[in-house]
Amino acid sequence: MAIYDQRHECMNREELLQLQLERLQATVNRCYKNVPFYRRRLDDLGIEPEGLQSLDDLRALPFTTKEDLRASYPYDLVAVPLREVVRFHLSSGTTGAPTVIAYTANDLQHWTNLVARNLAAGEITREDVVQIFFGYGLFPGGKLTFWILAAAIETPPLFRTFLNDLSVNFHFAVVVIFGLGSQFFIFQTGGNGHYFENRTWFIG
């Protein structure tokens, strides 16, 4: 398996656990300091950021629910000044208020590195052609995959187009497919498994 990030992917267990703890502490401290929602939530539970001394303390932290995201529309969960935000992703809002995710330039760089590590682990290179089935609005990782790769094809995420778009595999010599597990299941059970012979499927 190819290694993209030698430093982080080859850490020994002790170093990895220490890095995870430091990042957990930094994240909770940042949220407590900059986001009133999280400060109230942690105060209500009697949790002080300084009290997080091990990864086991993660169990005490509350979940952020879909309702929390909706109730915080549009900026209440943003932990940095808006001048540092370079991109927003919004849900469709068809079942309620849209949920908002804000990205800084540093966030996008982290996303890019993680997607690149994923691709490298699958032995995908710039010589490969990738077909992306899920829409960009649904999964930001799809967009970053598109940016990283030399040749990527986005196809519409509507069900009725899936089978028609399979022909793209042959026309463009696709060797890698990014999509949802449900799409893979539909293709396989629908008698279209031959479209995926000798191809790598990344399920998101």
Residue spans of the domains in the chain: they are 6-104, 122-203
Mean pLDDT (the chain) is: 78
Burial of 177 (C-beta count, 10 Å sphere; 0-12/13-18/19+): buried
Chain centroid to Cα 158, Å, comes to 21
Confidence check: pLDDT of 151 > 60: no
**What does the pLDDT read at residue 65?**
93
CA–CA separation, 49 and 107 (whole Å): 22
Distances 203 to 142, 168, 177, 180 between C-alpha atoms, Å: 11, 18, 8, 5
Confidence check: pLDDT of 198 > 60: no
